Amino acid sequence: MSEQTLYEKAGGSEAIEKVVDYFYEELVLKDPTVNQFFEHTDMVKQKRHQAKFISYALGGPNQYSGKSMAKAHEGMNLQPEHFNAIAKHLHDALAHFGVSERDIDEALTRVAALRDDILYK
């Protein structure tokens, strides 16, 4: 028996969509540290991209076909406090839906690998 991916442990695409909704609606968009970055964003499109990205980051199917992380964040001048806030919100959203701390840590390690592509762009 092969070990489940984080994606499978989290509950697959349906669960990821719920995580993404909660991530944005209850956490990110209510956080003045980062919500200004989404003022003029098509949130339906953003959530769709984020669900694909998180699925990929959790070892699910690579359906993400958007811009590179560096290109997507170009001109935003994101700082470490913005990255950290988003990472915390991702942690909290995954935890809210019962993902274990061990699995969250593994997912956040994968996200942290993209830090340099996101910051100061």
Cβ neighbours of residue 86 closer than 8 Å, sequence gap 6 or more: 28, 34
Altogether, the residues listed in the chain come to a count of 121
73 assigned binding-site residue: yes
- For residues 64 and 76, what is the distance between their CA atoms, to the nearest angstrom? 21
Query: Is 49 annotated as a binding-site member?
Result: yes
Q: Which amino acid is residue 38, in one-letter code?
A: F
Binding-site positions for heme read 49, 73
Which residues define the annotated binding site? 49, 73
